[in-house]
Amino acid sequence: MKRVFSILCLALLAGCGGGDDGGGSSGGGGTIFDPGPRDPLPSAWIDLDYYFDVELIQNGLNTPCKMDQAPDGRLFVSLLDGQIITVQTTAPYTVSNWASVTVLNGSEQGLLGIAVSPNFASDHYVYVVACVNNGSGDVQQVIRYEEVGGVGVNPSVIMDNLPTASIHNSGALEFMNDGTLLLTVGDANVPADAQADGTNAGRVLRFNVNGTPAAGNPFTGSDEYEWCRGLRNSYGLCVHPATGTVMGVENGPANNDELNYLVAGKNYEWGNTGTIPGAQIGVRVRNWPTVIVPTGVTWHSGTDVPAGYGSNLFICSYDEARIYRFVMDGSPPVNISSEHVFGEMSNIGTTNKPLDILEAADGSLYVSTFTAIWRIWRRTGP
């Protein structure tokens, strides 16, 4: 079985360079400013879209799984070992320890998702997803921290007893545009649970900031938190900043990695042994017949990027050490117009395996790997 964090299961694929070579095409329509020749990329990078440049802002980190940005510009980063750090996004990119939680250390267990409150400037809340032992057993929790004096204090468990296993925990945590939270929960290595009622496994859950089920969820009773089901291990999740369209990446067992258009009440068929009515089956926007292990995914708002890059999806491929760019169209924007290799890193060992990607407020893209955080931005010259 494929594991996002397992070294033994890596397929070390040597890809060809795929960045744009220059000239005026944006890959999404229109002629754009040509910034001219670029200085050499950092040695970790094989290729990057012609219109962009990249810099290393932090190195020596211990598996920065997920990132989110606060209104003051700081990146909040969850490290798999249970540390929450902040990283300044201006030089010298200072790192600060913000909080920590004691976590389980299975191959895909630890501190996973992180989400900064949309109202952080007033409520100072940050939410994380952690695999822990709660005294009664091994579970996943959603924990809310409050920032006081520049550090996280007053941890409060707002969701408890979510399934966990050494693999397939998912853990992507994102705010929807209505202020509710979405959380991906993997099948915890029991495929049938992704279809079983009342398990919360193999699902996307939707809930309020106090941990109660959100109004408008499609089910009641034991499935009152469920937003959609039938998912194996959706490690990445993103919400379109304007339309609210939700996309998630799904890790298949040995093939059939997916990009899914996630919709309330839909079933994405993992763990299915019977017949699901066609009207209930969710839309797979992209299927990869070979293993790429999609991890981080983000929409881009179009801030400070060339024409044609707005409403694009950027997806990390862990196995290939690549970042893909999907030009999307339609209303909602869920049709793939074209697909590009946006960036590629040296695919040796695990150091450059991308885990998460985030659009920052200034339009930059931040990419985390097993040890580092990189910033990618639109260039206007060498």
Question: Which residue, chain included where needed, has tokens 């193999």?
Answer: 202
Predicted confidence (pLDDT) at residue 10 exceeds the cutoff of 60: no
Helix (H, G, I), strand (E, B) or coil at 223: helix
| Domains along the sequence of the chain with CATH | 45-378 (2.120.10.30)
Q: Give the tens place of pLDDT for each residue, 148-183.
A: 999 999 999 999 999 999 999 999 999 999 999 999
Give the per-residue pLDDT at 121.
97
* Under 8 Å between Cβ of 299 and 236: no
Any alpha helices (H) in the chain, and if so which ranges? 120-123
Q: Are 311 and 286 in contact (CB under 8 A)?
A: no
Residue 20: pLDDT over 70? no
Residues in the chain: 382
- Which residue(s) pair with 56 in the sheet? 374
Task: With a cut of 70, say whether residue 23 has pLDDT above it.
Answer: no
**Which pLDDT does position 16 carry in this prediction?**
33
Task: Compute the mean pLDDT over every residue in the chain, rounded to the nearest whole number.
Answer: 92
What is this structure's pTM? 0.92
User: What are the φ and ψ backbone dihedral angles of 373, each rounded to 5 degrees?
Assistant: -130, 130
How far apart are the C-alpha atoms of 134 and 132, rounded to whole Å?
6
pLDDT at 15 over 80: no
Give the residues across from 121 on adjacent strands.
none
Quick: pLDDT tens for 334-351.
999 999 999 999 999 999
Cα distance between residue 297 and residue 368, in whole Å: 12
* Percentages (nearest 5) of helix, strand, coil residues in the chain: 5, 40, 55
Give the pLDDT score at 375.
98
Q: What is the spatial distance between Cα 69 and Cα 322, in angstroms, rounded to a whole number?
A: 23
Instruction: Specify the pLDDT at position 30.
Output: 56
| Mean pLDDT score, 16-43 | 66
Q: Which among 239, 161, 142, 248 is positioned nearest to 200, based on CA atoms?
A: 161
